[in-house]
Amino acid sequence: MRKLPGKTVERLSEYRRALLRTLSENKSYIFSHELAAILHITAVQVRRDLMLIGYASVMRKGYDIRELIDTIGKIIDAEDGLNVAIIGMGNLGRALTGYFNGKRTKLRVMSAFDVDPQKVDKVISGVKFYHINDLKQNIAEFNISIAVITVPPDHAKSVASTLVKSGIKGILNFTTVALNVPENVYLEEFDLITSVEKVAYFVKEGQ
């Protein structure tokens, strides 16, 4: 299968979460229009995405929910799982660590890092805190390939540089600073301020 577009991967992740919730309601099958209604998109979009991964519905029944969850997992998850590090343990870093761990068996938060010596060696949500100076050694020791950056903006670029030099393959940047990384490192940037301002604009305009 050819590499999927980023937006398709995002929707597949959303489909899986919606399907897991639906499965917990003791439902075994779901139609494309039902899945679309949950995510506020069109049924055509759902069918296009699932056709891209070679999955079709059963006539008159819809999609087999459990089977579709497994199919999506085989597409977007690494077979042996991937290890993740959280860089910056302020309120956001702690919240992400607490929410994330245990939600996906194929993604494991292995370590958390901060410059505050009072946070070092503490364990929160099953994740041990390390000093940022131990970053490179820790990444190698625990085979960490993904890093989530939640540090203050003025430290974002230096942290990203250290991560790249340490062999990180993917970065999720929660700071307001745009980063530049080599082509072999996948970068996803989420600007919370921009997202809130976008919501504020549409509220102002009455949607």
Q: Quickly list DSSP for 39-66.
A: HTS-HHHHHHHHHHTT--PBTTTBEEHH
The CATH code of the domain that includes 32 is 1.10.10.10
**Is the pLDDT at 28 greater than 90, yes or no?**
yes
86 plus 61 within the same structural domain: no
pLDDT at 173: 97
My answer on whether 103 and 71 are in the same domain is no
Q: Which helix (H) or strand (E) holds 143?
A: none
Asked whether the predicted pLDDT for residue 150 surpasses 80, the reply is: yes
Q: Are residues 41 and 57 in the same domain?
A: yes
CA 207 to chain centre: 28
- Tell whether 180 and 92 lie within a shared domain: yes
pTM listed for this prediction: 0.87
Is residue 1 included in any domain, yes or no? no
Per-residue buried b or exposed e for 117-139, using 16+ beta carbons within 10 Å of the residue's own CB: eebbeeeeeebebbebeebeebb
CATH number of the domain where residue 166 is located: 3.40.50.720
Query: What is the domain range of residue 43?
Result: 6-75
pLDDT digits (tens, 9 = 90+) for 88-125: 998 899 888 888 776 667 889 999 999 998 889 999 88
If you ran DSSP here, which 8-state letter would residue 3 be given? Answer: P
Measured torsion, CA atoms of residues 134, 138, 139, 140, in degrees rounded to the nearest 10: 120
Residues 116 and 69 placed together within one structural domain of the fold? no
- Checking if the pLDDT of 138 tops 70, the result is yes
Determine, yes or no, domain membership for 201: no
Average pLDDT of the chain to the nearest whole number: 91
List the structure tokens of 169.
């393959």
Last residue of a domain, one of 35, 60, 75: 75
pLDDT at 35: 96
Q: Which residues contact 14 (CB under 8 A, 6 or more apart)?
A: 39
* Long-range residue pairs from 62-67, CB within 8 A, at least 24 positions apart, any chain: 62/29, 62/30, 62/31, 62/32, 62/34, 63/29, 63/30, 63/31, 63/32, 63/35, 64/28, 64/29, 65/19, 65/22, 65/23, 65/27, 65/28, 65/29, 65/30, 66/23, 66/28
Whether 32 is covered by a domain: the verdict is yes
CA distance 95 to 33: 34
Res 11 pLDDT > 80? yes
Q: Is residue 45 part of a domain?
A: yes
Give the pLDDT band (50/70/90) at residue 86.
very high
CA atoms within 13 A of residue 28's CA, in its CB half-sphere: 2
* Model pLDDT for residues 165-197, shown as the tens digit of each residue: 999 999 999 999 999 999 999 999 998 888 898
Asked if the structure places residue 166 within a domain, the reply is yes
Domains identified in the chain, total number: 2
Give a yes or no: residue 200 inside a domain: no
107 plus 181 within the same structural domain: yes
Is residue 89 in a domain? yes
